[in-house]
């Protein structure tokens, strides 16, 4: 059976997955059940009887014996990426500053509301005193007029 490049790649990816599960301590039957393949098929891949199995096993052995080096390409960080990160940090700082200011203002507003409430109570008390004084003045005026008539 001749496999296309895509099928070979899929087969290699599946074999890598099988190999990783084996190294993690899974049994052949556990691996077969999880990936939906027969135990015979799993065994064929893991023992290197398939091309994908051979490739994965050889690569693993080379890595294990330090015969194969994995080269990780260096990714150049562009100035734009750095600027974006700086901007994100600055935005977060500004956001924190404004949140602090908002919280401070909320506390101040609450204090002013309480003070306003207290002042309203005091005003009401003073208005009641004034009303009582006015009522007493009217009574006093009436009394003075009565006394002047007598």
Give the span between the Cα atoms of 26 and 46, in whole angstroms: 12
Name which of 58, 57, 38 is nearest 46 in CA terms: 57
Q: Which domain holds residue 82?
A: 78-150
In a domain, 69, yes or no: no
Q: pLDDT tens for residues 6-65?
A: 545 557 788 889 999 999 999 999 998 998 888 998 988 898 888 888 888 888 888 888
Q: Are residues 83 and 143 in the same domain?
A: yes
In a domain, 71, yes or no: no
| Phi and psi, residue 27, nearest 5° | -80, 165
Q: pLDDT tens for residues 107-135?
A: 999 999 999 999 999 999 999 999 999 99
Q: Are residues 85 and 127 in the same domain?
A: yes
- The pLDDT of residue 51 is 87
Domain count, the chain: 2
- Whether this model's pTM surpasses 0.75: no
Q: Are residues 93 and 150 in the same domain?
A: yes
In a domain, 86, yes or no: yes
């Amino acid at each position: 059976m001749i496999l296309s490049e895509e099928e070979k790649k899929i087969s290699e990816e599946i074999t890598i997955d099988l190999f990783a599960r084996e190294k993690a301590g899974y049994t052949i039957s556990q691996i077969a059940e999880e990936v939906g393949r027969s135990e015979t098929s799993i065994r064929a891949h893991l023992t290197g009887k398939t091309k994908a199995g051979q490739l994965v096993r050889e690569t693993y052995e080379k890595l294990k014996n330090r015969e194969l080096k994995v080269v990780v390409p260096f990714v150049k960080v562009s100035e734009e990426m750095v600027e974006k990160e700086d901007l994100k940090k600055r935005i977060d700082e500004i956001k924190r500053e404004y949140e602090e200011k908002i919280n401070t203002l909320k506390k101040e507003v609450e204090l002013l509301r309480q003070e306003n409430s207290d002042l309203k109570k005091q005003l009401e008390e003073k208005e009641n005193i004034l009303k009582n004084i006015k009522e007493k003045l009217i009574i006093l005026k009436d009394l003075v007029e009565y006394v002047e008539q007598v």
